[in-house]
Amino acid sequence: MVITELKPIEKIWQNIADFRKVLVLGCRGCSGICSTGGDREVKLLVSALNLIAENEGKNFIALGQTLIRQCDPVALKVLPEFLKEVEAVVSLACGVGVNLIADLYPDLKVYPGTDTLFIGAHVGFGVWEEKCRACGDCFIDKTAGLCPIARCPKGLLNGPCGGSQTERCEVNPEIPCVWYEIIIRLEKRGELASLDEIIGPKDWRLTFGEGPRKRQREDLTF
């Protein structure tokens, strides 16, 4: 899931303070699941913005709506229905949602209400951790299913570095050394020898591409 975080409310307010009517647009996708942009968060933000406006004596009103997703044109089709007299939209989806709205509605002023952090998992109540960098060339079959690109600060492909001690990472002792874990697991499986093979330099084109990456499936295109 794409993990997001609500921007500080002052920052959101800065962008929209001069409008009279603003739509806060939630998303029940990843953003809703990680409690950044679901129905509840939309309601909260709407009230907060209205309160600020009242305090500052501004002629301003914020409305709220939540879509099932913002990363799909089909789901965004209903958006114009909510835009009567609306001068701007604050999206609580990930950056994908904001981009797609901007793509589809060039005349609409859309502002991000969240920061998009990473692709991660919900590992405990209120805790999300990064597990994948979307490098485009998954090789974690060789590393016991643990990704050193996402989980080693140096992204070593032939780790561990010389700094790991007491199984913690030298760069960030909060996290375990992923290479330590990889080796322990492979050893248990009796597959440690597979690491003796040098993993070659990565083809970073698959990660950074030539501009935005694109995937196209012939069988699904009309």
Partner 1 sequence: MKFRSNLERVLKSGYMAITCELAPPKHASLEPLKKKARVLKGYVDAANITDCQVAMVRLSSLAGCLAIMLEGIEPILQMTCRDRNRIAMQSDLLGAWALGIRNVFCTTGDHPTFGDHPQAKPVFDLDSVQLVAMVNQLKQGRFLNGQEIKGENPRFFIGATENPFADPSEYRVRRLAKKIKAGAEFIQTQLVYDVTKFKQFMYIAHNEGLTEKAYILAGIVPPKSFRMIDYIKSHLPGSCVPEDLVKRMREAKDPLEEGIKIAVELIEQIKEIPGVKGFHLMAIGWEEYLPEILKKTGFYPRPFSQDLLPEDTKTFSLREQEKKHLEEEIKNLKEHLLRLESLITGKKEIKEEDSEKVSITIETPKEKTTAVVEDLTKTSPSSLAPAKEESLTGEKSRLKVLYRSLSERAKGLPEDLYREPASGRIREVVFGKGDKALKVGGAEALPFHSFEGSLGQPLRIAMEVLDVVPEDFPEVLAKYFKDVWDDPGSWAKKCVEEYGAEAIAVYLLGIDPNYLNLGADHAKRVIEKVKKAVDVPLIIWGCDNAEKDTEVLREVAEVIKDDNILFGPIVEDNYRTLGAVALGYQLPVIAQSPIDVNIAKQLNILLENLGVPLEKIIMDPSVGALGYGLEYTYSVMERIRLAALYSNDVKLQNPFICNVGREVWKTKETSLPSDEFMGEAEMRGVMMEVITAVSLALAGGELFILRHPKSLELTKRVLNLLWTSSEQKP
Residues in contact with partner 1 by the rule CB under 8 A: 153-167, 170-171, 177, 180, 183-184, 192, 195-196, 198-202, 204
Is the distance from CB of 194 to CB of 142 less than 8 angstroms? yes
Number of Cβ within 10 Å of residue 51's Cβ equals 12
Q: What letter represents residue 149's amino acid?
A: I
Give the pairing type, strands 114-124 and 109-112.
unpaired
Listing DSSP states for 27-74 in one string gives ESSHHHHTTSSSHHHHHHHHHHHHHHHHHHT---EEEEEEES-SSSHH
CB 172 → partner 1: shortest distance, Å?
A: 8
Q: What letter represents residue 137's amino acid?
A: D
- Considering the complex, state which of residue 47 and residue 172 has its C-beta at the smaller distance from partner 1: 172
Give the pairing type, strands 109-112 and 88-91.
parallel
CB 174 → partner 1: shortest distance, Å?
A: 13
CB 115 → partner 1: shortest distance, Å?
A: 17
- Considering the complex, state which of residue 126 and residue 200 has its C-beta at the smaller distance from partner 1: 200
- Considering the complex, state which of residue 111 and residue 179 has its C-beta at the smaller distance from partner 1: 179
CB 149 → partner 1: shortest distance, Å?
A: 10
- Considering the complex, state which of residue 10 and residue 196 has its C-beta at the smaller distance from partner 1: 196
CB 43 → partner 1: shortest distance, Å?
A: 37
- Considering the complex, state which of residue 118 and residue 180 has its C-beta at the smaller distance from partner 1: 180
> What residues does 184 pair with on adjacent strands?
none
